[in-house]
Amino acid sequence: MTHGPAGPNGPEEPGEARRTGPAGAGDEASSAPPAAESAESGGCAAANSPAEPGEGTVVPFPFGRNGRPAEPAAGGDGVGVGEGVGDGVGDGVGDGEAEIRQLFQDVVGGLEPSAQALEQLREAVPMRRRRRRRVWLGAAASVALFGVGAPVVMSAAEHVGGGGGQATLDAGAERTAGGEPAGGGDAGEEGSHPAGGDTEAPGRPGDGAEADGEPPAAGDEEGTATTRDNSEMSLSSPVCARTQLGEARTTTESPDAEGRVYGSIRLVNVSDSPCRVSGNGELAALPVGMASVDAIQIVDRTEGDRAERLPTPDETHEELVLPPGEAYEVQFAWVPSGAAVGSCDVATEPAGSGGPSPNLERGEPVTEEPTATGGQGPDGVSGEDGGGGATGESGTGGETTSGAGGGETGGESPGTGASGETGGDGTSGGETPGSTVGGDGVDGATDGVVLRYTPEAGQPEAAQIMLEGSCSGTIYRTGVLQAPTE
Amino acid sequence: MPVIAPLPAREPAVGVSVPGSTTEATDDAMAEGTTIDFLTETYRAHYRSLLGLAALLLDDTASCEDVVQEAFIRVHSARGRVRDPEKTLAYLRQTVVNLSRSTLRRRILGMKLLSKPLPNMASAEEGAYEQLERADLIKAMRGLQRRQREVLVLRYFADMTEAEVARTLGISAGSVKAYGSRGIAALRVAMEAAR
């Protein structure tokens, strides 16, 4: 292998090199390794009792000194070395092979894997897989973007000099949309090529079970990647502004046997350019009505804590680049303290109906779409997604805000404050008023605690989770996670 | 009718949704299980010998374990590269060789330090590495050129054929011969000097 690639591409190197390698190597390998194995185990076994490497090396170093004939074990190759190199060294070399083998075996024979080696591998391998997949998806997205973007630019350029404005536009449009052979065809190739490199392997027979995650996701990626901003998306991406994050969604699962409730808060990059999520954001607990938050702790997820099913801290990202339309999530777990199991319900919205959330009672996962589609309305940036947003821009926003302010316990109610500010989101159109107004109901009917999530980018908060009743326990939260693609 | 999975105590009525999730969980576990078994298998078969390989190739024996771990992780996390046992060993060795080149290694170790503290090695293992440090052969090996050392180790410790060594190192078979013989000569000189 050349030195250059070996550096940066270390991880890939073996695979690429071996694509031809093992096929050839296989022949020899099939015969060689058994020999190697026995030699090794022999070496280890021998070395284990005298295990001291020191002793091993005390053995005289006899290459060629004894003038013994080359040993059969050294085989044809040994002789080959000798002959090829020349007489002076040759005889000695062929002769020394057995000894050098033995020396090597002896000196490292005492090495034992550390006790936790296998355990660590078991953890690390799946983790790396996930990371690889993310990296790979990012690369695929870049390539796809580039593939789509380049022809568009080129065809546009081509036509700029061409002639009348109208005609130019039309031609350009057709090209992009139709994926005309010249541009589109190439793009397709480019897009799939690098992907093929990696997918090929997973696609091999017998891999079906594991491989499934990647290819579909890749396809997805290419499909959605219709914007132009290309390959440089990773590090150069600006930090996500609050207005770029929207379509907030919270989900919770039904309580498990110990009353633990797992859930997640998901935020999408609703802008049309990639941005970087930096920092975990804030998850805070605020009292509603008569409740107090004293009995509720919010802690970061650590390994070995009671929120077993949350991803471990090393799966979280300090920085995560979100291509347009991709989402990140923060997961959490509500772990009630022993006595409180069952005395507290978890709802992902400020219970619209005023009473305890019926969904939760039934133990179904609750998915709430539109709580806060942060700021896309007010900003007016996201034309695509905010079809409704535009309309809701000031009208709805105004309404909800006032409604919230009115129904509230004094200005800073977490629940409604949020809806008010983000109320500009038009996608929630029909529903928002219902659930937002419900904010009043909450305060009227129940006491509890609202968990409020605010992205690092700042106000307004993106999501709330209502804990109703007398709650005491701990919220474990993760940092920023890559949300699964949908 | 016996209920297979324990239901959440609070909600006995939701039995309907439970079986589904239980099955999924089982499937996941099984899928996970197959890969883990393979990992364990390779671990048992090759981990020690790779540890030796790393120890002979590396300048600092203390990072042997890290290098081998990293190699295992890389090879096993690349799905599809791990199906054929023979190839797996080849990949692993190749990766260890790559990682043993210092610049690259420093980089991954740096990364590793950032993400996770190194395991504190049990004293017995430390002892083994310390002894290794003192071994004449190891000292002598450090005096060799990197290529010579790689050729010798792959050829005589990993028992590769010359062709395999050539492929693994990305050099010609002729170079393998040349590095090999010069390496042996240099090793002999170094060993005698040490005595």
Q: Of B12, B68, B193, B17, which Cα lies nearest the Cα of A118?
A: B68
Considering the domain architecture, whether residues A292 and A259 belong to the same structural domain is answered as: yes
Is A37 part of any domain? yes
CB of B5 within 8 Å of a chain A CB? The answer is no
Take residue A339 and report the two structure tokens written for it: 């006595």
For tokens 């020999």, the residue is A35
Phi and psi angles of residue A273, each rounded to the nearest 5 degrees, phi first: -130, 155
Considering the domain architecture, whether residues A175 and A249 belong to the same structural domain is answered as: no
Shortest CA gap A212–chain B (Å): 11
For chain A, what is the domain count? 3
Is A235 part of any domain? no
Residue type, A295: A
Is A394 part of any domain? yes
Considering the domain architecture, whether residues A278 and A198 belong to the same structural domain is answered as: no
Q: Look at B77 and A80 and tell me if their CB atoms are within 8 Å.
A: no
Q: Which of A55, A125, A258, A262 has the most B C-beta neighbours within 10 Å, making it the best mutation to test the interface with B?
A: A125
Q: How buried is A45 (Cβ within 10 angstroms: 0-12 exposed, 13-18 middle, 19+ buried)? A: exposed
Considering the domain architecture, whether residues A246 and A205 belong to the same structural domain is answered as: no
Considering the domain architecture, whether residues A312 and A365 belong to the same structural domain is answered as: yes
Considering the domain architecture, whether residues A23 and A148 belong to the same structural domain is answered as: no
Residue-by-residue pLDDT tens, chain A, 486 positions: 434 333 334 343 343 333 333 333 334 333 333 333 333 333 333 333 333 343 333 444 545 444 343 344 433 343 333 333 333 333 444 557 888 888 888 888 888 888 888 888 888 888 888 877 777 788 888 877 777 766 666 666 555 544 444 443 444 344 444 333 443 334 333 333 433 333 333 333 433 333 333 333 333 333 333 333 333 444 567 788 888 888 888 888 877 777 788 888 888 888 888 888 877 888 887 777 766 667 777 888 877 777 777 887 777 777 777 888 888 888 888 887 766 555 666 665 433 333 333 333 333 344 444 433 333 333 333 333 333 333 333 333 333 333 333 333 333 333 333 333 333 333 333 333 333 333 333 344 566 777 888 888 777 777 777 777 667 778 888 888 887 766
Considering the domain architecture, whether residues A475 and A332 belong to the same structural domain is answered as: yes
Is A230 part of any domain? no
Q: What is the ipTM of this complex?
A: 0.72
Decide which of A225, A253, A278 is a domain's last residue: A225
CB of B120 within 8 Å of a chain A CB? The answer is no
CA–CA separation, A23 vs A112, rounded Å? 31
Considering the domain architecture, whether residues A340 and A429 belong to the same structural domain is answered as: yes
Residues spanned by the domain of A70:
3-108
Shortest CA gap B13–chain A (Å): 9
DSSP state of A479: -
Is A433 part of any domain? yes
Is A117 part of any domain? no
Considering the domain architecture, whether residues A253 and A394 belong to the same structural domain is answered as: yes
CA–CA separation, A204 vs A452, rounded Å? 46
**C-alpha atoms less than 13 angstroms from C-alpha of B183 in its C-beta half-sphere:** 25
CA–CA separation, A261 vs A266, rounded Å? 16
Q: Of A210, A219, A211, which Cα lies nearest the Cα of A140?
A: A219
Considering the domain architecture, whether residues A373 and A476 belong to the same structural domain is answered as: yes
Is A232 part of any domain? no
CB under 8 Å to A296, separation ≥6 — which residues?
A285, A449, A467, A471, A472, A473, A474, A475
Number of other CB atoms surrounding residue B62 within 10 Å: 16
CB of B181 within 8 Å of a chain A CB? The answer is yes
Considering the domain architecture, whether residues A102 and A157 belong to the same structural domain is answered as: no
Decide which of A225, A258, A286 is a domain's last residue: A225
Residue type, A227: T
Q: Are strands A448-454 and A366-368 parallel, antiparallel or unpaired?
A: unpaired
CA–CA separation, A321 vs B145, rounded Å? 43
The CATH class for the domain spanning B135-195 reads: mainly alpha
Shortest CA gap B8–chain A (Å): 4
Considering the domain architecture, whether residues A387 and A473 belong to the same structural domain is answered as: yes
What is the H or E stretch that residue A347 is in?
Answer: strand A344-347
* Contact indicator for B152, A67 with CB cutoff of 8 Å: no
Q: Where are the domains of chain B?
A: 26-121, 135-195
